[in-house]
Amino acid sequence: MPLAPPERTADVLVIGGGNAGISLAARLHRKGIADIAVVEPKSTHHYRPMLSYVGAGLRTTRQMSRPQHRVMPRGVRWVQDSVRALDPVARTATLSSGERLGYRDVVICAGSAPDWDHVPGSAEAVAGPHASTNYTVELAPKTWELIRALRRGRALFTIPDGPAPTPQIGQKILYLACDYWQRQGVLQDIEVTLLTPTGTLFGQPDVDRVLQPWVDRYGITVLTDAHVRSIDAGARRLHATVDGTPRDLPYDLLHHSPVHAAPAWIAEAGLGTAAGGEAVAGVESTAGPGTSAAGYADVDPHTLRHRRVPTVWACGDAAALQTTSSGGGLRHQTKVLAANLLATREGREPTARYDGYTVTPVTVQRGRAVFAEYDRDNELAPSIPGVPLLGPSRVLWFLDLEFLPKDYWNVILRGF
């Protein structure tokens, strides 16, 4: 028996009300698409790049948050629910409430979430008294409490070896913690270690050269080609392989950056990449994730249109874009996606191209920051042509801490 028609429909259905979904919906609405619905269950919207500063005690979660209804673009419908299933043939989304929404085009902006099963014991570790992560709003304040309390011992910081939003952002809290400990006069009593899956410090030669003096200044031990295998929270030990050799590392403080996974309904709808398929970015050639993004939306990384289903689009953390995922890259992605979606409405081929631009702001000390901007070929891609923002400078610190949050709330989320 055929299913009944969906209860409601939208010309464009946007799944996800984070940076990608809100900014894209606003941009499409400005470009003339009147009937847009955004599915987003959360009632609070967060400026997630500020989580590193929350973890460093320089900002609070309240300062990075707004009510979701305040950021929803005018003229765009907010469906406060979550997607349970997507049927690309029938062009319907089934919500957790059981309601079905129809659409002409759907854009997957659903983001990703920590995959705690990827590293056995990681969930127990960050729930315990000696480990945390800045990847969740709930745990970032705990990171600061651990940093502030540590006076001596061993501190470990990890970088994920698979898909994750801005994976090398774990270096930001690393340097901020070291700067704090140095100012407190206790750094010499703390053994600090960074575990990164990349073959070098950051994975991009120019960025490596800029960051290395700060590693030397703080006395950080860097373990490259390092992959976290499991964590024993009770014993406070992290098990990893480094250059293929098993290592057992004790810790008194652990900041763990988890590998992320896309929503399961993407793969269940037949829209995801297959295991062992195209990688979002290989650790041998870029600072991005190091394994294939199985289950992420399988879009053309240049046009952001699904490879097999032309009415499906995706951008942001849920899309396999063959580059490092970052909030800074979304402005480029939403501009390209909007242009291409509108082109198809006019019977034209999508010709706008996303070059994989991404950026990782790294604060090397309180008052100085570096902006690592690069493309999917792992080449520097400065947003100001000819001026790599590698600093480190006070201007970039101010830009990251003060200007960009205002730009986010007042410009980016309005579709500009």
- Give pLDDT, residue 294: 83
Task: Specify the amino acid at residue 34.
Answer: A
**Greatest C-alpha distance within the chain:** 72
**What local confidence, expressed as pLDDT, does residue 4 receive?**
67
3-class secondary-structure state, position 402:
helix
Closest to 290 in 3D by CA, of 169, 112, 379, 168: 168
Q: Which residues contact 217 (CB under 8 A, 6 or more apart)?
A: none
Mean pLDDT (10-residue bins), the chain, 416 residues: 75 98 98 97 97 97 97 97 98 97 98 97 98 98 98 98 96 98 98 98 96 98 98 98 97 98 97 63 35 81 97 97 93 97 97 97 96 94 77 92 96 95
Q: Is residue 94 classed as helix, strand or coil in its secondary structure?
A: strand
How is 213-276 classified by DSSP, letter by letter?
HHHHHHT-EEE-SEEEEEEETTTTEEEEEETTEEEEEE-SEEE----EE--HHHHHTT-BPPTT
Say what the pLDDT of residue 273 is: 92
- Domain at 8-114+261-345: CATH architecture: 3-Layer(bba) Sandwich (3.50)
Match 């600093």 to its residue by tokens: 391
Q: What pLDDT, on a 0 to 100 scale, did the predictor assign at position 275?
A: 60
Instruction: Tell me the Cα Rg of the chain.
Output: 21
- Amino acid, single-letter form, for residue 99: E
- Name the phi and psi angles at 144, rounded to 5: -65, -40
Portions of the chain given CATH number 3.50.50.60: 8-114+261-345, 116-259
Residue range 116-259 in CATH 3.40.50.12280: no
Distance CA 307, CA 230 (A): 35
pLDDT of residue 24: 98
Chain-centroid distance of CA 60 in Å reads 19
Q: Please check whether residue 316 is in contact with residue 37, taking contact to mean a CB–CB distance below 8 angstroms.
A: no
